[in-house]
């Protein structure tokens, strides 16, 4: 949380250059860093297709998408919180499970739509509680969402007592989970649909624009007459809704739901956002980057499994990739300053 920057006074703007533009020389590293995720994803895909046998098969592509869809939807949602310069929403772990459990536990009584409506209610509750605490009470997002995780996950676990809920064979939910469109699972299309919508919201709508500018400079945004607190609430609500959808997808995929179904989703989703090259200082970033970040880690774990590496190695490699990605980004920012 290096907010220390905010404590420094802005340097006095002595002797501003006379010419209109302050030239900024681009170095190789900045070039690579700015396009990093695109290059790396491309390279990884090519590599996998050539060297990992069975990777290109249609069945495997389905598996890759199964790996990508739920976590990807969460990551896309989390992008809004990250771009609003609030680091992370840890509570997605509790949110995904809540949505999944509600869907499978309550659809018999209330019908699928009824259950979804109830899930939506709780998604909004999460979003608003997190958003208000961070946006209006000016509390640190990490701590707030850490707290709501404890509360939410705890209560969920208390209520479900570890029951694994499962839908009827070939019920609507199961059907959705198994459904294919051409060679792809339906969840892949949900992921892409969410990505497209999120991308439109972030880059094309007034609201997305406010999130970006808030993340880029809170004070200037406020002084432009923006309800900055409201913007933060909005960012968290969007994240919560995405987490809810992810919960549905995950539950439908296996036609089961349990309180522990989304363990580790918080940091894994953030990892995708970061590997995508979105700035954790807010402002800069895009949904496409997050999407590619998700594809990257999904393909990575997929080929590690295909090549018989153990879970341990998968974690080790993921961590190494994150460190590499962020180090590159940081070096690039340095080079840019010079």
CB of 242 to other proteins, least distance (A): 18
CB of 46 to other proteins, least distance (A): 19
In this structure, what token pair is assigned to residue 336? 């840019």
Cβ proximity to other proteins: between 41 and 213 the closer is: 213
End-to-end CA distance of the chain: 24
CB of 296 to other proteins, least distance (A): 14
Nearest to 211 by CA among 199, 161, 325: 199
Cβ proximity to other proteins: between 193 and 220 the closer is: 220
CB 87 within 8 A of CB 282: no
Cβ proximity to other proteins: between 38 and 207 the closer is: 207
CB 181 within 8 A of CB 175: no
CB 103 within 8 A of CB 248: yes
CB of 208 to other proteins, least distance (A): 8
Contacts of residue 40, defined as CB under 8 A and 6 or more positions apart, other chains included, come to 296, 325
Cβ proximity to other proteins: between 30 and 133 the closer is: 133
In this structure, what token pair is assigned to residue 153? 């996950």
CB 221 within 8 A of CB 228: yes
CB 33 within 8 A of CB 329: yes
Cα-based distances in Å from 66 to 184, 188, 246: 10, 7, 11
Cβ proximity to other proteins: between 77 and 177 the closer is: 177
CB of 44 to other proteins, least distance (A): 16
Cβ proximity to other proteins: between 194 and 201 the closer is: 201
| DSSP bridge partners of 165 | 257
CB 136 within 8 A of CB 229: yes
CB of 140 to other proteins, least distance (A): 5
CB of 186 to other proteins, least distance (A): 12
Nearest to 247 by CA among 41, 121, 104: 104
Cβ proximity to other proteins: between 22 and 181 the closer is: 22
CB of 150 to other proteins, least distance (A): 3
CA distance 213 to 268: 26
Cβ proximity to other proteins: between 192 and 217 the closer is: 217
- Give residue for tokens 């363990």: 263
CB of 109 to other proteins, least distance (A): 6
Element (H, E) at 256: strand 256-257
Tell me how many degrees the CA angle 140-199-68 measures, rounded to the nearest 5: 80
Cβ proximity to other proteins: between 42 and 108 the closer is: 108
CB 236 within 8 A of CB 265: no
């Amino acid at each position: 949380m290096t907010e220390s920057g905010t404590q420094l006074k802005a340097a006095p703007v002595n002797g501003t250059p006379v010419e209109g533009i302050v030239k900024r020389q681009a170095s190789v590293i900045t070039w690579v860093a700015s396009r990093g995720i695109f290059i790396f994803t491309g390279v990884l895909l090519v590599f996998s297709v050539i060297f990992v046998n069975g990777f290109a098969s249609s069945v495997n592509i389905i598996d890759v998408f199964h790996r990508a869809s739920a976590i990807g939807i969460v990551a896309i949602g989390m992008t809004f919180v990250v771009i609003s310069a609030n680091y992370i929403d840890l509570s997605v772990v509790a949110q995904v499970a809540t949505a999944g459990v509600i869907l499978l536990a309550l659809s018999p009584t209330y019908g699928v739509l009824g259950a979804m409506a109830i899930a939506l209610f709780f998604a909004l509750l999460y979003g608003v509680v997190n958003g208000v605490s961070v946006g209006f009470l000016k509390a640190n997002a990490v701590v707030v969402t850490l707290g709501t995780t404890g509360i939410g996950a705890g209560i969920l676990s208390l209520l479900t007592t570890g029951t694994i809920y499962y839908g009827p064979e070939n019920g609507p939910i199961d059907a959705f989970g198994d459904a294919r469109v051409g060679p792809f699972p339906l969840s892949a299309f949900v992921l892409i649909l969410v990505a497209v919508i999120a991308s439109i919201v972030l880059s094309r709508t007034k609201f997305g624009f406010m999130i970006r500018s808030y993340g880029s400079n809170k004070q200037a945004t406020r002084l432009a007459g923006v309800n900055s607190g409201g913007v933060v609430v909005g960012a968290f609500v969007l994240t919560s809704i995405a987490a809810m959808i992810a919960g549905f997808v995950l539950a439908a995929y296996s036609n089961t739901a349990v309180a522990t179904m989304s363990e580790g989703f918080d940091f894994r989703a953030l990892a995708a956002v970061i590997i995508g090259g979105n700035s954790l200082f807010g402002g800069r970033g895009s949904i496409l980057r997050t999407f590619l970040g998700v594809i990257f880690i999904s393909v990575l774990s997929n080929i590690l499994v295909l090549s018989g590496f153990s879970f341990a190695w998968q974690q080790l490699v993921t961590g190494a990739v994150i460190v590499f990605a962020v180090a590159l980004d940081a070096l690039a920012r340095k080079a840019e300053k010079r």
